[in-house]
Amino acid sequence: MVVSLKNTLEEKTEILAEEKFKKGFPFPAESAIIVKNDRTCEGVGYLEKILITGGRPLRGEVNVAGAKNAVLAILSATILSKGLCRIDNIPNISDVSIMLHILHQLGADVRRVGKHTVEINTRYFNSGLVPHDLTKHIRASYYLLGALFGRFGHARVAMPGGCDLGVRPIDLHIRGFERLGASVSFEENAVISMQSDVISGSPIYLDMASVGATINIMLAAVRARGVTVIENAAKEPHVVDLANFLNSMGADVRGAGTDVVKIHGVLELHGCDYSIIPDQIEAGTYMIAAAATQGDVLVRGVIPKHMESISAKLIECGVTVEEHDDSIRVASSSRATRCKIKTMPHPGFPTDMQPQIAAMLTAASGTSIISEGIFDNRFRYAEQLVRMGAVIKVDGKVAVIEGVETLKGCAVRANDLRAGAAMIIAGLMARGTTEIEDVEYIDRGYEDIVGKLRALGAEISRKEVYDVVDPVSQIS
């Protein structure tokens, strides 16, 4: 009976994915993660879990994919051009699949021409409404506001979805758009509507160095009349990567990577060829996994300069870190030692690495303290680590971690993308078997993480679970 249910669901999933592809879904059926992660299919429930048997040191080499946070901004930026953009080093993750699907649904010609290369032509792009059913799965969909407004002078986009990390307002984005001349209103179904007869450059001061606001204002201002100056701008590597991409299309963006970004508006942007920078957070995740398992891993395809804050903390914890031109070796033969961490905007320790290093510190010697300086709800994962035997006390945005000798494998869940990475690291460290649910969060930002870790010697696999769903119970 189980076999027949499994075959039935696989057939239905293939059919649904193929139908999506025929209708213009930008990936072939086997890559249509957005379809595969649907939870039910006519009486059959589908779930995926990750199983890890811990205790094995990671050893070997791993290649890092393109940066998730850069590629989502850059894909949105293709809207600003009326030419063909060929983008290389695109990671195969579900957030990218969703963003490409959104672009295609709005009229872009999206073609995959290689495993990590996509061509996008937005010449005949539709400037209409971007509804909630397209934006609800991905936080970065709010970049469509800046890109659509920058090209057409108007935009209507539903509020974005994404991981629940607490309050993440977009008031800084709105104020920036208004400084450029936008009239902003909020419509039914959580739709943000913006319009302006003329987009005019303006000085804009950000109350905090928001990455999202910096990127969105850059997108809106590149074709504005005059000069826009963003003060207290975010300095993250993906902000710089977006600026480089925009300049490759003919924009005039200066100062990216500093706290003052100047944008001289241009009339038009053209297509270009571009390669996405390596993913700082994916690289950091493998670095910490190597240290946590007392392994020896060479992380290839990185920009060591981007990894300095992470490398510094690992060294402080007694881990060996060797930097090369485009790779970093991380090795350890003993438990990490305690440390204090405060997450901050770049070049400080990134909030997206906080759950991963917390997982490592659960088995470090001594007491560690982590202060979260960005998000309100970043410590939701702590409860899952406690289930594995960790000793963590959370008080608001501060966590105190008492290191234990070892964690114990058990059933846990990924609360969000980076929490999911933390559960994987904890599972690799733990004694026994760890079973991770809600792995769709992990797929949002890590390309083939199971395959890459298995190649490093981890005992890790995906498990597909099929359950009969009572149709009556699904009726609300």
Whether 163 is catalytic is yes
Residue 330: what are its φ and ψ, rounded to 5°?
-125, 125
Residues 200, 227 contacting (CB under 8 angstroms): no
- Decide the pairing of beta strands 40-41 and 44-53: antiparallel
Beta strands in 232-295 (DSSP E): 252-254, 260-264, 273-275
Cα–Cα distance measured from residue 360 to residue 291, given in angstroms and rounded to the nearest whole number: 8
Side chain identity at residue 397, one-letter code: K
Beta strands in 325-408 (DSSP E): 327-331, 340-342, 367-371, 391-395, 398-402
Cα–Cα distance measured from residue 176 to residue 356, given in angstroms and rounded to the nearest whole number: 33
Token duo for residue 165? 């990390």
Helical ranges in 26-126 per DSSP H: 33-36, 68-77, 94-105
Cα–Cα distance measured from residue 442 to residue 185, given in angstroms and rounded to the nearest whole number: 34
Token duo for residue 374? 């960005």
Annotated catalytic residue within 41, 85, 163, 272: 163
Side chain identity at residue 260, one-letter code: V
Beta strands in 396-449 (DSSP E): 398-402, 411-413, 433-437
Residue from 251, 282, 215, 264 nearest 85 by CA: 251
Beta strands in 159-251 (DSSP E): 183-187, 191-195, 203-205, 227-231
Q: What angle, rounded to 10 degrees, do the helices at 143-152 and 171-179 form?
A: 10
- CA distances to 269, 270, 271 from 123, in Å: 11, 10, 10
DSSP code of residue 51: E
Cis peptide leading into 347, omega within 30 of 0?
yes
- R_g over Cα of the chain: 22
- CA distances to 39, 147, 386, 422 from 412, in Å: 18, 39, 10, 11
Q: To 5 degrees, how large is the angle CA 433–CA 417–CA 66?
A: 110
Residues annotated as catalytic (active site), given as ranges: 163
